[in-house]
A = this chain, B = another copy of it.
Amino acid sequence: MGKDPREAAREIIDAAIDAVRPEECIRRVFRLEGEVLCVGDARFDLRGVKRIYVVGFGKASAGMARAVEEILGARVAKGVVITAEGYRIPTERIRVHEAGHPLPDRRGLAASCELLSLVAEAEREDLVIVLISGGGSALLPAPAEGITLEDLVVTNELLLRSGAVIQEINAVRKHLSRAKGGQLARLAQPARVVALILSDVVGDPLDSIASGPTVPDPTTFADAVEVLRRYGIWGQVPPSVRRHLERGAAGEIPETPKPGDPCFARVLNLIVGSGRHAAEAALKKGEELGFRGFILTTTLEGEAREVGRVVAAVARELRRCERPISPPALLVLAGETTVTVKGRGKGGRNQELALSAALGIEGLRDVVVASVGTDGRDGPTDAAGGIVDGGTTGRIRAAGHDPRASLSDNDSYRALAAAGDLLVTGPTGTNVADLVLVLAA
Chain A residues within 8 Å of B, Cβ to Cβ: 203, 276, 294-303, 306-307, 309-310, 313-314, 316-317, 321, 323-324, 333, 335, 360
Chain B residue contacts of A294, Cβ below 8 A:
323-324
Q: Out of B302, B313, B321, which one reaches A335, CB within 8 Å?
A: B313
Distance in angstroms from A349 CB to nearest chain B CB is: 13
Asked if B321 and A296 make an inter-chain contact with CB atoms under 8 angstroms apart, the answer reads no
Distance in angstroms from A425 CB to nearest chain B CB is: 24
Q: Out of B300, B303, B324, B335, which one reaches A303, CB within 8 Å?
A: B303
Copies in the complex: 2
Asked if B296 and A301 make an inter-chain contact with CB atoms under 8 angstroms apart, the answer reads no
Distance in angstroms from A215 CB to nearest chain B CB is: 18
Distance in angstroms from A368 CB to nearest chain B CB is: 17
A62 to B303, CA, bound (A): 41
Chosen A-B contacts, 8 in total, with CB atoms closer than 8 Å, are A296-B296, A296-B317, A298-B317, A301-B309, A301-B360, A302-B309, A302-B310, A306-B307
**Given contact pairs A306-B307, A307-B306, A314 touches B297 in the complex (Cβ within 8 A):** yes
Chain B residue contacts of A314, Cβ below 8 A:
296-297
Chain B residue contacts of A302, Cβ below 8 A:
306-307, 309-310, 313
A114 to B323, CA, bound (A): 44
Chain B residue contacts of A298, Cβ below 8 A:
317, 321
Chain B residue contacts of A300, Cβ below 8 A:
310, 313
Asked if B316 and A297 make an inter-chain contact with CB atoms under 8 angstroms apart, the answer reads yes
Distance in angstroms from A319 CB to nearest chain B CB is: 11
A294 to B309, CA, bound (A): 20
Distance in angstroms from A312 CB to nearest chain B CB is: 8
Chain B residue contacts of A306, Cβ below 8 A:
302-303, 306-307, 310
